[in-house]
Amino acid sequence: MRTPDAMPLDDALLAREAWLDRSSRRWSGLLLGAALAFVALLYASPQYWWPVFEQFRLAFVAMGVGCAALAAHRAVSGERIHLGLPLTLPLFAYLAFVPLSTAWTFAPDRTRTAIVEAAKMAVVLAVVLNALDGRRRLRLFLLVAALASLGPALGGVHVWRTGDALVEGFRTHWRGLYGDPNRLAMSLVAVLPFALLGVATASGRRWKVLFGFVAAAQLAAIVLTHSRSGTIAAGLAVLLALFRGRSLPIFGKVSISGAVLLGLLAFAPATFWERNRTIAAYDTDASVEGRTHAWQVLGVIVEERPLTGVGAGAFLSSWSRYAPLEAGGRRYVAHNILLEIVGDLGVLAFGLFSTFALLLLAATWRAGRDPLVGPEARAVFAALAGYLVMEMVNGYSLSWFLYLLFACALAAIRIARRHAALGTEAAG
């Protein structure tokens, strides 16, 4: 029995614990809201539709709020900040090469820019991973990203319809981050499986129709970019999203696949089929010739500087020293994420990044078997696989979309492992 003197102290402790619990939940909610706002603003990009918003840099503001909320949640809850360790150790070791490369870089200015970008990627990874600490939160994030992608998808369709400065005269694009046809296609492949997840799991016919429209808009924009790697990646992402798991009956899977194929046959412009027929025409393809010159430069870099590369972001600056004479004065990016890393940071960084990517894909695949978070994990795996296919012929190692997918995959893995541990404890 408590003494009268002890009662006020116990009540004060209980009140403090209740306040900390409420504060923790509020900061956690703000963290989720900031993560959702970031992905929505990154994709919807209102500044490209209404230039007045450009000065506010809304996506960066949202991420700043997320950082503050994460720190405050850590302070009041006492929970540690999750970084996906030990799985992410190779990734963070690879990122450490970016600032280290200031010691040997060919282009200090470009390397300093790369350091800032690498820090942003690490922050996005931490904020999003900690925000998505449950299945409902993960699914909400994936579906919001899919809906927000209507911005660049419809923007790309609009540009093609109006014929506004089409690349090569027939390839659509959007603006800013999406101003290059391949990057527009990549960004949409990254969320295409999330729209299909909405079709499969949303409650109510209206939501299913909405997500079906989102997927159709994404596919239309990918087709209109005429990106050959985008076509392959989108096909892979759709197949992985539809035919693994039981979110849809087999009739639904076949129906959606058939609708996509019929849509391509009926609506894809003739230039789409003409360009995709050139996939095998390596000897006459100008873009392949440019990639070949870039890979020749990388070969010389690896031979002369295998352990260090030329410094983060310095590949183009090293072109004049390593490019073959037949390349002329035009410079090309590496067009392959792995080769880009080799050229910039050396074979050790390449090994670290490759190890992380393979481990992450394997763990995400296993998370797809989990009865709780399986549908979300399978959608993330499909998106990541499709995106990495495009990275093999484009190459953007410090990409917002790549690190958002990393964070989603790590969140799905964490939720699946926690669920498995709880199941094991219950069985025991």
Among 47-61, 74-88, 180-194, 255-269, the range of highest mean pLDDT: 180-194
pLDDT at residue 424 above 70? no
Determine the pLDDT at residue 274. 78
What average pLDDT does this structure show over 378-394? 93
Determine the pLDDT at residue 361. 97
Q: Which helix (H) or strand (E) holds 129?
A: helix 108-131
What average pLDDT does this structure show over 180-205? 93
**68-82, 93-107, 190-204, 208-222: range with lowest mean pLDDT:** 68-82
What average pLDDT does this structure show over 417-427? 70
What average pLDDT does this structure show over 384-407? 92
The single-letter code of the amino acid at 14 is L
The single-letter code of the amino acid at 80 is R
pLDDT at residue 158 above 90? yes
Determine the pLDDT at residue 331. 59
Determine the pLDDT at residue 102. 95
Query: What tokens does 172 get?
Result: 């659509």
The single-letter code of the amino acid at 143 is L
Determine the pLDDT at residue 237. 92
Determine the pLDDT at residue 99. 96
Determine the pLDDT at residue 425. 47
136-169: buried (b, 16+ CB within 10 Å) or exposed (e) per residue?
Answer: ebbbebbbbbbbbbbbbbbbbbebbeeeeebeee
DSSP symbols for 50-84: SGGGGGG-HHHHHHHHHHHHHHHHHHHH-PPPP--
More confident residue, 348 or 259: 348
pLDDT at residue 254 above 70? yes
User: What phi, psi does 167 have (nearest 5°)?
Assistant: -70, 130
Q: What is the DSSP letter of 167?
A: B
Strand partners, 171: 167
More confident residue, 284 or 274: 274
* Alpha carbon 16 to its chain's center: 40
Q: Which of 382, 400, 384, 381 is nearest to 392 (CA)?
A: 384
pLDDT at residue 252 above 80? no
Mean pLDDT score of the chain, rounded to an integer? 86
Spatial separation of the C-alpha atoms in residues 183 and 263, rounded to whole Å: 23
- Under the banding of pLDDT at 50, 70 and 90, the label for residue 383 is very high
Among 275-279, 281-285, 365-369, the range of highest mean pLDDT: 365-369
User: Do residues 199 and 211 lie in contact, with contact meaning Cβ atoms separated by under 8 Å?
Assistant: yes
User: Do residues 269 and 224 lie in contact, with contact meaning Cβ atoms separated by under 8 Å?
Assistant: yes
More confident residue, 76 or 127: 127
pLDDT, tens digit (0-9, with 9 covering 90-100), for 90-137: 999 999 999 999 999 989 999 999 999 999 999 999 999 999 999 999
Q: Distance of CA 392 to CAs 312, 363, 369, 419, Å?
A: 18, 21, 27, 34
pLDDT at residue 1 above 60? no
More confident residue, 172 or 49: 172
Determine the pLDDT at residue 2. 54
3-state class percentages of the chain: helix first, strand second, coil last, to nearest 5: 75, 0, 25
- Under the banding of pLDDT at 50, 70 and 90, the label for residue 40 is very high
What average pLDDT does this structure show over 230-236? 91
What average pLDDT does this structure show over 344-360? 95
